[in-house]
Amino acid sequence: MLLAVPAETRAGERRVAIVPDAAKRLIADGWDVTVQSGAGQGASIPDDLYRAAGVVLAGDARGTMDGADMVVRVHAPDAAAAALHPEGALHLSFFQPNEELEALRVLAARRATVFSFDLLPRIGRAQSMDALSSQSTVAGYRAGLLAAEHLGRFFPMFMTAAGTVPPAKVLVMGAGVAGLQAIATARRLGAVVHAYDVREAAKEEAESLGAKFVDLGVRAEGVGGYARDLSDEELFRQREALAAEVAASDVVITTAAVPGRRAPVLVTTDMVERMGPGTVIIDIAADAGGNCELTEAGREVVHAGVTIVGVANPASDMPNHASFLYGRNVANFCGLLSEQGSLRPHWSDEVVTGSCLLRDGRPLHGPTAELLGVPLASFEDGGDEEAGP
């Protein structure tokens, strides 16, 4: 079994899909691992550490993937990179079909079997493979640090001979994995933190970290622990109730997302204009359109004295530990794809089936089938699980 790790092609991406620690584990499980030379450079992982772990290094992406049974990336490839994917090989990465449709078409034509961490079932047994959660942990921590960096005031209360400085007031919108980490980070830095989420289950978790939960009376419990889309009426009620909380905050950190959809707009232009001068909004949902109406991904926008930071790809800002966590997720997932040194995906396992976009180039995911304009295949179409990919 040959597992290939090419360098990431997305602009600004510094993570790598496998670190030496994870490579050692995979090799012990019967995999051969090839990594493109320099792939770990952005995460401060030199080639020598890969060699010491038993990894083979290749000079370019084509050489890295030559003869591979499985290709692992952080992000989905673009169409050009997908064209280098070995015929019939497996692929694993974050992969949103609607955002990488051309690459998906290329992989389908190459009869690839594609797994996406974006579709991983949110069940207890899959937690060790949950790359969305591991990378959201990094993103939430980074959001708290960015908030302190951009606010021109102290986060904690200071009592000095010159007088007492009150603590910063931080509002965190969205108390999922990223939001909870943002709460914890802001609290560690000494801020007074309020938290808001449309999921009732988030209240206890936010309060356990020292935040005061803001209850607006709008509930949107979704499937698998995620929030569902709000109706237009619910969005209006939510924004009206949130306006006062936003206006009273020194910092607003927004983390709300609905998988596969545009991020909900929680902070309108009018709400921004009610905030005080020098206040800050950190929007880590910028890549999905942003939770603030004025967010621009990868840019800082100043409007009415308020700085709106559209954080693009926040986990990449802490590439070393983000890669370490991601590599562990990959190694754990690969345990469901191999057995006794042979590539044998466990097609009876709901984690495997739930995260599969394509099997042998045929869509096993409804929205993917619609995007490709072909019929939805069944898992039985690919043969039994003893027959390989």
The residues annotated as belonging to the active site are 122, 127, 130, 133, 226
Q: Are 313 and 13 in contact (CB under 8 A)?
A: yes
Per the structure block, which two tokens stand in for 215?
Answer: 């209850």
Distance, in Å, from the CA atom of 110 to the CA atom of 356, rounded to the nearest integer, reads: 16
Per the structure block, which two tokens stand in for 58?
Answer: 């290749």
Distance, in Å, from the CA atom of 173 to the CA atom of 262, rounded to the nearest integer, reads: 16
Query: What is the helix, strand, coil percentage profile of the chain, to 5?
Result: 40, 20, 40
Longest dimension (CA), the chain: 76
Asked whether the CA dihedral 249, 253, 257, 262 is positive or negative, the reply is: positive
Asked whether the CA dihedral 77, 79, 80, 82 is positive or negative, the reply is: positive
Distance, in Å, from the CA atom of 246 to the CA atom of 266, rounded to the nearest integer, reads: 10
Alpha-carbon Rg for the chain, nearest whole angstrom, is: 22
By CB neighbour count within 10 A (0-12 exposed, 13-18 middle, 19+ buried), where does 28 fall?
exposed
Question: Would you call 75 helix, strand, or coil by DSSP?
Answer: strand
What is the DSSP-derived secondary structure letter of residue 6?
A: P
